[in-house]
Structure 1
């Protein structure tokens, strides 16, 4: 089950970042449905991956890392969800959303 959740989590990341890059190149800057779906998938599968704070085992996730990733993930989702109906988005808002997506991936990869 963990591998299925991890696979879905990666698909969410691909939707979120791919949607952001596509929209950035297409202009005007707005939140597309791929970004909203990707952010939602990231939060839901992230919760599923973090839920088994199993109590024991050598693969116990670091609670601080999970908290940081959770806060960033929720920020991304909120930024995407509540801005999805705007016709044009402020470039700072859009780039912050894309940047937070990359920061969240960096936390996942580099925080050991």
Structure 2
């Protein structure tokens, strides 16, 4: 395994950690029936997003990158970020996140993971 392949695997690992942090923090709130957003969710989104952008760079790969898949995942990530931002604002104002925003973040996070695994 070349050095670039090892680096790419490390970035994939970091990307998965970002997903786990985002979804795990969301799941904790869902199970507790609190329906609120936490700063940890933002950190998970940031980690997954930055690592995802690094993975989209075509350095050191011997195959074609799927730019349609990358674009869809980026759009979903941006929507999740927008929903977190809107929800955090409403949470500061009203003390809670509207259920539609809360559940949308969880569903879209799982959708993004599903796209990563199932779209070839």
- TM-score between both structures, scaled by the size of structure 2: 0.83
Partner residue of 1:16? 22
Count of residues in Structure 1 that have an aligned counterpart in Structure 2: 110
Partner residue of 1:97? 105
CA contact (8 A) 1:43 1:77 kept: no
- TM-score between both structures, scaled by the size of structure 1: 0.89
Runs of 4+ in structure 1 deviating by more than 6 angstroms, as ranges, are: none
CA contact (8 A) 1:36 1:84 kept: no
Q: Would you say 1:78 and 2:82 are equivalent positions? A: yes
Q: Take 1:96 and 1:73, find their aligned partners in 2: how far apart are those partners?
A: 12
Q: Would you say 1:6 and 2:17 are equivalent positions? A: no
Q: Displacement of 1:56 after TM fit? A: 7.4
Partner residue of 1:32? 38
Greater share of helix: 2
For residues 22 and 55 of structure 1, do their structure 2 counterparts lie closer, same or farther at Cα, with a shift above 3 Å needed?
closer
Structure 2's unaligned 5+ residue stretches are 1-6
CA contact (8 A) 1:15 1:34 kept: yes
CA deviations over 1:18-69 (Å, ceiling 9, x no partner): 00110112232111122111111111111000022x59722x2211001000
